[in-house]
Structure 1
Amino acid sequence: MRILVAGATGVIGHPLVGALRARGHEVSALVRQESRERAPEADHVVVADALDREAVLSAVSAARPEVIVHQMSALRLLGDDPVAAFALTARLRTEGTANLIEAARAAGARRLVAQSIAFAAAPASVPVVDEDAPLYVDAPDPGWAATVRAVAELERLVLDSGPLAGVVLRYGTLYGPGTMYARTGGAAQAVLAGQLPLPGDGAGIMSFLHVEDAVGATVAAVESDAIGVFHVTYDDPAPAAQWLPHYAQVLAGPSPRTIPAELAPRMLGWYLTHQLTAAHGASNDRARTTLGWKPLRPSWRDGLGQE
């Protein structure tokens, strides 16, 4: 198949290009001009800023894809300017997605597979939720509410993108090379500096996913006829009280100190406090049964903090 990967220089997009080519597909990489030198080895490279409608229309027309994979974000900026990173990512999830869908239709593409997140669920009565659980669009933190609303709009656009067959992959919290949880990433540095404490009983649940398994699930979604929303996560969602001490131990860092839950928002901010104390895990049953995806790694315990 002819496949266009938008966001081909990203943590998932870069290895995805190689994985798809290894399966015999003809792959075009869509990158920004300033990222051209970091483009992966692809059959074709096309250049456009996702927020430039005319440039996207031209680039996608040149690639003539049958399938488009949307991996666009600006999270590479997190370490330098978190506010700008989230704001630009929200625009890519809304304006960028709309531009990509318009270009896909014009180019005659038949399928669109888009990146989303599995950790944006609203409060629920169960610790692990499926894809039908509502998103936390009315979160009390304005920044997180804006992020989740952008995610919800991306998903709406993709699922309503007929005649394109739309697929949304809600990835779990990524670890592995190039992520926040890599040994050189921001989370690891915070743990090593003793700056990531455990609030209260650490009951917030995380569903992790290694980058290579995100790539594998995306290949499965490209080659499948299935449509809809899928959680792409590991089988064992874990509370912070389990994964954070394990992560610190693997990093050879200090054990995370425990702090009163009521102090956490002031020390860590609303979002991180929520993730460590109240977030829900995400079930991967639908991805396993419908996409036929099976992760290469059995658990987040395999590799978290080692790369």
Structure 2
Amino acid sequence: MTGTRVLVIGGTGPTGPHIVGGLRERGHEVTVFHRGVHESPELAGIEHIHGDPHFRESIDEALAGRDFDLVLAMYGRVRHLAPALAGRCDRFVAVGGIPVYDGYFPHAGAVLPIPVTEDHPVVREDGGDPARRFSRKLAEGERTVFDHHPAATILRFPMIYGPNNARPAEWSIVRRVRDGRRRMILPDGGFQIHTRCAARNAAGFVLAAIDHPDAAAGQVYNCGDHTAWSLRQWADAVLALLGAELELVAIPGDIAVEAATTLLPLANTTATHCLLDTGKARRDLHYRQVVEPLAALAETIDRYRSRDLDSAEFPSLTDRFDYDTEDAVIDGYRRAASDLRTGIVQHPAPPVHSMPHPVAPGSVDHRGR
């Protein structure tokens, strides 16, 4: 598919410029439809349509009389975009999210497997739970896409990282280093593992789906880096790239509330681990990782080394950088832990090999095995 008219809805975030660049390299004629709040310099020289893709009336007004060969919906509400563009494009590709999976937000009777494949059930009933209501709406949006565009493709994104990210998680570490901090809380020691995806790799998944229309028709694909880091490994990688040291203090997440709700996905409301299986995209779409995660993380860190980020520019950044509170939590937890260690007599279990170790033929070992 070359020389086609492509409408990119959104496109000004961390992945959009890479996708638009890839489309233009392929010879496509690209138009970007977005609110006009952020104007990326990488999107200069192409047509921009300004309107709000969250509302049907705004979509209809902005796109009146237009049709396209391919629509790529990366932003807005697909439950409005899909019907609004029905019969006005040959292909519809939508970007969704992994909260659609049942068990992403824990509840009784739901288990999120490791890894999660595209065949895992999505949320159909929310039981009145606000988090699962969000998941149900995502699932309904996906159904709406296929109802109006049976040959559509949906790509499920995990946490995206890279320059121009609306929520630059790395800043929580970068700023502490720049402020001369010597320690930082990691909830539960940072053992949680969640799939992340570099912006350039996320764009690679989208472009692979566009490049293989027959295979991608009517399909859903997980997206994510091949390497899965725990929160601790991610923090260590950021510190190594900065050439800095911080004492990463392990404190239970239900005690270190600010750290847990700041550093963990969706304010620590999700499953402890969420690892996505991306084998389907590699098989069907011949997806190949565009950039190594460590190199992509280095690009991101370099962007933040010499600039200050504030809540006005990044309203989704929730870290308060309240070091007095952070120190009070660390010191209080350590005092309580010391009191427990010294105040309760415990008996550590010895290391025991599970198999018998007799010393003579026909005998048993010292444990009677």
Q: TM-score, normalised by structure 1?
A: 0.77
In terms of fraction of residues, the more helix-rich structure is 1
Q: Which residue does 1:88 correspond to in 2?
A: none
Q: Which residue does 1:169 correspond to in 2?
A: 155
How far has the Cα of 1:132 moved from its partner?
2.0
How far has the Cα of 1:140 moved from its partner?
10
How far has the Cα of 1:247 moved from its partner?
2.5
2:268 corresponds, among 264, 268, 273, to 273
The 5-angstrom pairing of residues 202-281 of structure 1 reads 202-225=190-213, 226=216, 227-251=218-242, 252=244, 254-265=246-257, 268-269=260-261, 271-274=266-269, 278-281=272-275
Q: Based on CA coordinates, which of the two structures has the bigger radius of gyration?
A: 2
Amino acid at match of 2:230: P
Aligned residues: 280
Q: Which range moves more in the overlay, 239-248 or 141-150?
A: 141-150
| Overall identity of the aligned pairs, in % | 24
- Do the aligned partners of 2:99 and 2:135 also contact (CA within 8 Å) in 1? no
2 CA distance for matches of 1:192 and 1:272? Answer: 25
Amino acid at match of 2:163: P
Cα 1:255–1:126 shift into 2, 3 Å? farther
2 CA distance for matches of 1:170 and 1:25? Answer: 24
Return 5+ residue gaps in structure 2 as ranges. Answer: 301-369
- 1:46 maps onto 2:52 in alignment: no
Q: Which residue does 1:295 correspond to in 2?
A: 289
Q: Which residue does 1:155 correspond to in 2?
A: 142
Amino acid at match of 2:286: G
Q: Which residue does 2:24 correspond to in 1?
A: 21
- Do the aligned partners of 2:184 and 2:246 also contact (CA within 8 Å) in 1? no
Cα 1:274–1:197 shift into 2, 3 Å? farther
The 5-angstrom pairing of residues 32-181 of structure 1 reads 32-35=35-38, 40-72=43-75, 92=76, 96-107=77-88, 109-118=89-98, 121=101, 122=103, 124=111, 126-135=113-122, 144-163=131-150, 165-179=151-165, 180-181=167-168
2 CA distance for matches of 1:3 and 1:197? Answer: 45
Return 5+ residue gaps in structure 1 as ranges. Answer: 73-91
Amino acid at match of 2:155: L
How far has the Cα of 1:219 moved from its partner?
1.4
Q: Which residue does 2:297 correspond to in 1?
A: 304
Q: Which residue does 1:87 correspond to in 2?
A: none
How far has the Cα of 1:288 moved from its partner?
0.7
1:155-204 Cα shifts (integer Å, max 9, x gaps): 222233235x2211112321221123475x45744686768632225332
Q: TM-score, normalised by structure 2?
A: 0.65
Structure with more relative contact order (C-alpha pairs < 8 Å, separation 6 or more) = 1
How far has the Cα of 1:233 moved from its partner?
0.7
Amino acid at match of 1:103: A
Q: Which range moves more in the overlay, 277-286 or 20-29?
A: 277-286
2 CA distance for matches of 1:279 and 1:141? Answer: 24
- Do the aligned partners of 2:184 and 2:247 also contact (CA within 8 Å) in 1? no
2 CA distance for matches of 1:266 and 1:182? Answer: 14
1:258-301 Cα shifts (integer Å, max 9, x gaps): 102432446533844356x7121111101111121111224x33
Amino acid at match of 2:154: V
